Structure 1
Amino acid sequence: MTREMAAQPLPLARECPLTPPAEYARLRAENPVSPLALPGGGTGWLVTRFEDVAAALVDPAVSAQRKFQTTVSAVTLTAEEWQASGFGTSFIGMDPPEHTRYRRMLTGQFTVRRLKELTPRIEQIVDKHVDAMIAAGPPADLVRDFAEPVPSLVICELLGMPYADSKQFQRHADAMQRFERTKEELLTAMTGMATYMRALVQEKRDHPDDGLISGLIRATPEDGVPLTDDELVATGNLLMIAGYATTANMIGMGALALLTHREQWEVLRDHPETIERGVEEMLRYLSVGPFGLPRTAKADTEIGGQRIRAGDPIVLSIESANRDPAQFESPDVLDVTRQPKRHLGFAYGAHQCLGQQLARLEMRIAFGTLTRRLPQLRLTVPAEQIPMRSDMQIYGPYELPVTW
């Protein structure tokens, strides 16, 4: 049972860029389901242990509907503004059975066959960017020259979107993630993305191809009702942001972790057969989501012995859960040879990340290629001088100055 304590803000202060806030260790030991002070006012619950987070992710009484603010941004949108933004029909904030309808349609698009066909193209994209870095000569910025453009190109390839148009998407996505932006800036970014995606949907209706957007247009849900343009726009925007921003920052974080744990880089370099385990370990050890997964109790329930009332806000900390010593031996040690064990890097249950196999594939190819073709890759500045995206909702390095 959680002992009584005053509601505290979400832990955010880091002693090391790669390490979750130290407060999480204390909370797991003493108050695994603790009162949380929300930035928008009011209180909720912060869940920090692996077992409790995993259980909450499959608890039918815990809803994915986003009814409260979890970030430190002072800007919030009304329900009407959210609906008008082009993101209002995004299924990420829905529960079954509404969520299931979209989930099944998208699962049919992320097939083994599609990933197999995409693999040579990902290899080409990765090699092309390594070629360009080598041709330009050191030093380089591994974020600008590799971690950002590679997943951007891959998601464009998947969706059937011209890569030249991805730059404006990146600008809009960055504006949406910043804490210091006005409501006007936020809405401009959201509606800008939606306007472009709506034009792309129309283009795919007129000239279908083998991309995922065209696949969703052709698909027929179980209820027999095809997706509307609004639904296609919201889904396309979600896939673009998730496929670009999270993967780019995971590649950046993974590179920073390996280059500051040199012996782990050398294991992957000298034993390429360990790359699959290495990627799983990076997905466990690192997190680009410092604010956790927001949930709302839609019925009275219990998490970790704590009674939660219907309507209570809940935040599930993935980065804390993945460092839980009750689940992982020596969880604060990065070990690319670790025997893989279930982690929550892609969440769990009905909302487990649809693109997880694509993200794994990109990371395996990216790190396999970097360690093979640039075996002496190293940082040019101390790790503590790397600027981090602490002012953004998706965490990672702003830049990685490297040489070889």
Structure 2
Amino acid sequence: MTDTLTDTASGTGREPGYPIDRSPHCPFSPPAGLRALQATAPLRKVRLWNGSGAWLVTRYAELRTLAADPRISSDILRPGYPHVSLGSLERARRQTSFIVMDDPAHARLRRLVTAPFTVRRIQALRPAVQELVDELIDTMLAGPCPTDLVREFALPLPSLVICRLLGVPYADHAFFQRHSAALLNRDSAERATEAQRILTDYLDGLVAEKLVRPADDLLSVLATEQVAPGLLERRDLTAMAMLLLVAGHETTANMIALGTLALLRHPDQLDALRATDDPARVAGAVEELLRHLTIVQTGLRRVALADIEIAGQVIRAGEAVILAIDAANHDATAFTEPDRLDLGRDARRHVAFGYGVHQCLGQQLARMELQVVYSTLYRRVPTLRLAADPAGLPYKHDSIVYGVHELPVAW
């Protein structure tokens, strides 16, 4: 999938391939090759799957500067955009959501779905999420031991939450979870493209149903108030639904499972988290786990609209840019001892949700769900332990979003 790192400090020799493989011995850290690039310069040229080049930004300060620069475009259809794969390019031609658009189109579409994700609205959901967490733990404890935490807890929770918010039938969860995972797979363009088609057809049919029989959910509101009067194209709502559904459960599910694994491998940190009932300390622990794990492992993709001089380099108009948020969150100039998991650290400045106008829309929902999970699961199941060799766990090296396919646990 990738090449080993070669020296290109002077622009000579072959540029290293990107993305770079993780070490199987360091599942929680960015790839060693990525850290080696970071050590040499804030920006380095890398080679992508199709032989094209891109500027890889690995240091925190330069990443935030570029992420907030209006001369850096998120438009996935713009020439020079560094697609993850050929399948990504083909799927972009069929369907795009606001997350890969520039303003003003990005701002107009994003504004339509901002209200349900404000801090106040999300905090109002906390009691319902707490109830779901307790119910899922009850069911897990009543079932067989050992069990798979991903299947029994990490995936169901965010799926239930996003289904209720959007108005997607949870009875269909196995269907959309399977195709969401295929959509995020970066090694099989054919599977991902087929998954996009299937999910698009499913969600378009759901939007059509909301237009006829609206309910008390976000898709119904957008269908009746935006699509019906012609203010929003139906295909745009379907693309929004795809983004919110897939991102709304896949990312949080992976953080629950991978965060649990990281805590089980760091028992001192787990003990400290289990011992506290201070919401501020729990919230701080969530930020540190988000920083430490940074599950988006293929970077944020951009393309330059104009020449930009930064860190002694010139990014030319039309050149591809990749913001390596996993490397930036492990930049020693921004975070002391960045490879150490320290739940007492003030990690609020991390860039796990991106930075600038394209920051993750659902970040407050993810934070709240993780706070409820991390403050409940380990206290209710104090003897929770791994039931498999961590070296043999099936890590998601093949996905855009990192995590584990399975996490066998016992208690």
Question: TM-score, structure 2 length as denominator?
Answer: 0.91
Q: What is the match of residue 192 of structure 1?
A: 198
Please point out which of 58, 63, 80 is paired with 2:73.
Answer: 63
What per-residue deviation string (whole Å, max 9, x for no partner) do you get for residues 217-251 of structure 1?
A: 35569xx9621110100000000111011111111
The whole-number CA distance in structure 2 between the counterparts of 1:291 and 1:393 is: 6
Task: Give the superposition deviation at 1:69.
Answer: 4.5
Please point out which of 165, 170, 174 is paired with 1:163.
Answer: 170
Q: What is the match of residue 13 of structure 1?
A: 22
Query: Any conservation in 2 of the 1:389–1:396 contact (CA below 8 Å)?
Result: yes
User: Any stretches of 5+ residues in structure 1 without a counterpart?
Assistant: none
User: Any stretches of 5+ residues in structure 2 without a counterpart?
Assistant: 1-8
What per-residue deviation string (whole Å, max 9, x for no partner) do you get for residues 305-338 of structure 1?
A: 2100111011110000000010111111101111
Task: Give the superposition deviation at 1:163.
Answer: 0.1
**In structure 2, the residue corresponding to 1:402 is in which secondary structure?**
strand
The whole-number CA distance in structure 2 between the counterparts of 1:294 and 1:216 is: 28
Q: What is the match of residue 394 of structure 1?
A: 401
Q: What is the match of residue 263 of structure 1?
A: 268
Q: What is the match of residue 236 of structure 2?
A: 231
**In structure 1, the residue corresponding to 2:409 is in which secondary structure?**
strand
Please point out which of 350, 353, 356 is paired with 1:349.
Answer: 356
The residue identity in structure 2 corresponding to 1:285 is H
Q: What is the match of residue 387 of structure 2?
A: 380
The whole-number CA distance in structure 1 between the counterparts of 2:304 and 2:86 is: 24
Please point out which of 359, 366, 376 is paired with 2:366.
Answer: 359
Task: Give the superposition deviation at 1:112.
Answer: 3.6
The alignment-based identity, stated in percent, is: 42
Q: What is the match of residue 103 of structure 1?
A: 110
**In structure 2, the residue corresponding to 1:227 is in which secondary structure?**
coil
What per-residue deviation string (whole Å, max 9, x for no partner) do you get for residues 248-297 of structure 1?
A: 11111101110100111111111132211110100110021111011111
Is the counterpart of residue 52 in structure 1 residue 52 in structure 2?
A: no
The residue identity in structure 2 corresponding to 1:129 is L
The whole-number CA distance in structure 2 between the counterparts of 1:95 and 1:179 is: 24
Q: What is the match of residue 251 of structure 1?
A: 256
Q: What is the match of residue 290 of structure 2?
A: 283
Task: Give the superposition deviation at 1:398.
Answer: 1.2
Task: Give the superposition deviation at 1:180.
Answer: 4.1
Query: Any conservation in 2 of the 1:322–1:344 contact (CA below 8 Å)?
Result: yes
Aligned residues: 394
Q: What is the match of residue 4 of structure 2?
A: none
Query: Any conservation in 2 of the 1:143–1:400 contact (CA below 8 Å)?
Result: yes
Is the counterpart of residue 216 in structure 1 residue 222 in structure 2?
A: yes
**In structure 2, the residue corresponding to 1:351 is in which secondary structure?**
coil
| Residues 341, 122 of structure 1: alpha-carbon distance in 2 compared, 3 angstrom cutoff | closer
Please point out which of 114, 121, 127 is paired with 1:120.
Answer: 127
Task: Give the superposition deviation at 1:210.
Answer: 2.5
Is the counterpart of residue 202 in structure 1 residue 204 in structure 2?
A: no
The whole-number CA distance in structure 2 between the counterparts of 1:37 and 1:391 is: 18
**In structure 1, the residue corresponding to 2:336 is in which secondary structure?**
coil
Task: Give the superposition deviation at 1:177.
Answer: 2.1
The whole-number CA distance in structure 2 between the counterparts of 1:55 and 1:225 is: 38
The whole-number CA distance in structure 1 between the counterparts of 2:149 and 2:291 is: 22
The whole-number CA distance in structure 2 between the counterparts of 1:254 and 1:220 is: 38
| Residues 215, 109 of structure 1: alpha-carbon distance in 2 compared, 3 angstrom cutoff | farther
Question: TM-score, structure 1 length as denominator?
Answer: 0.92
The whole-number CA distance in structure 1 between the counterparts of 2:89 and 2:376 is: 42
